[in-house]
Amino acid sequence: MKILVTGGAGFIGSHLVSRLLQLGHQVWTLDDLSNGHQEFLEHVITHERHTFVHDSVMHRKTVEQLVQKVDAIYHLAAVLGVKNTVENPLKVIENNIDGTRIVLESAYKKRAKVVLASTSEVYGKNEKLPFKEDSDRVLGPPSTHRWCYSTAKAIDEHLGFAYADKGLPVTVVRYFNAYGPRQTSSQYGGVVPRFIKAALTDRPIEVYGDGTQTRCFTFISDTVAGTVAALNPKADGLAFNIGSDQPITIRDLALAIHRLTDSASTIATVPYEQAYGPGYEDMQARIADLTRSQNILQYRPSVALEEGLRKTIAWYRKSLT
């Protein structure tokens, strides 16, 4: 199959590109390198079935030309991260929505399958756990920029489902805290790389809030497996949770990384206001209901957290030297 991956030089995208090539597909990677890194693709950059295009998903002509070459699109290009939502909400809103619209409009002309990357952020602060794909969204007021990423990705999904109603094969994958090698954008989200970098350099491991908030972390190979499975025509017109359903508190995560790195770091508690400014609100817990993903995609995450952390720490030890 001929496949376009937008954002393919990013953390998840680069792993996805590698996997698609392993499966025998012909792949085009589109990335403006604003978040991605070309070195993440250095092992496949000259692959005979891979073409790298340094351009933006916001450039309609480029997207339209690439879409005409392919049978399917994985749309992963996005502006993400907590700091962006707080500091640059216009960039988050405009780039995410406009880029997705361009991809979907181009795909509709070709009737190319689209797998749209979304996020567990769309559930907001709903306290009814675990999150099912049809769970309600519960958000704070629009005047609080904290919620702009959730809203932008939800509009992306609305666009995708609207095109699905018009006959375009669209599948949405909602990621739950993917982590692993190459997740370097700790400034814009990603508590695992932030903790690991601090631990390996013996700086304080800063836990935001009181550390009792829980998350389910998903090793990158499991994230990619669910993403690849979303090509299945049985997934058309549906959203799928792609993640783990095994929660851990953020403080326990910090302790685990401290132990696995044999670090001399201290563990410090930092108020949200100090980390992100006044008015920031976090969710106490996020757990994915994987029933639909298991039944339709045969998705079952297989990498335990400690195993995944060991692999990630090993990568960071090499990358920081």
Give which of 27, 23, 22 is closest to 8, Cα–Cα: 27
Distance CA 70, CA 51 (A): 12
The full set of domain ranges for the chain reads 2-176+219-243+286-302
Give which of 4, 45, 279, 292 is closest to 146, Cα–Cα: 279
pLDDT digits (tens, 9 = 90+) for 155-189: 999 999 999 999 999 999 999 999 999 998 654 56
The H or E element containing residue 48 is: none
Which entry of 74, 123, 149, 208 is annotated as an active-site residue? Answer: 149
How many residues would you count in the chain? 321
Give which of 310, 170, 193, 173 is closest to 242, Cα–Cα: 173
pTM comes to 0.95
The SS3 call for residue 148 is helix
Average pLDDT, the chain: 94
Distance CA 276, CA 283 (A): 14
149 in catalytic set: yes
Distance CA 84, CA 90 (A): 9
Give which of 118, 92, 100, 29 is closest to 60, Cα–Cα: 100
Distance CA 264, CA 296 (A): 45
pLDDT digits (tens, 9 = 90+) for 86-143: 788 898 999 999 999 999 999 999 999 999 999 999 999 999 999 999 999 999 999 9
User: Tell me, which fold does domain 2-176+219-243+286-302 have in CATH?
Assistant: Rossmann fold (3.40.50)
pLDDT value for 185: 61
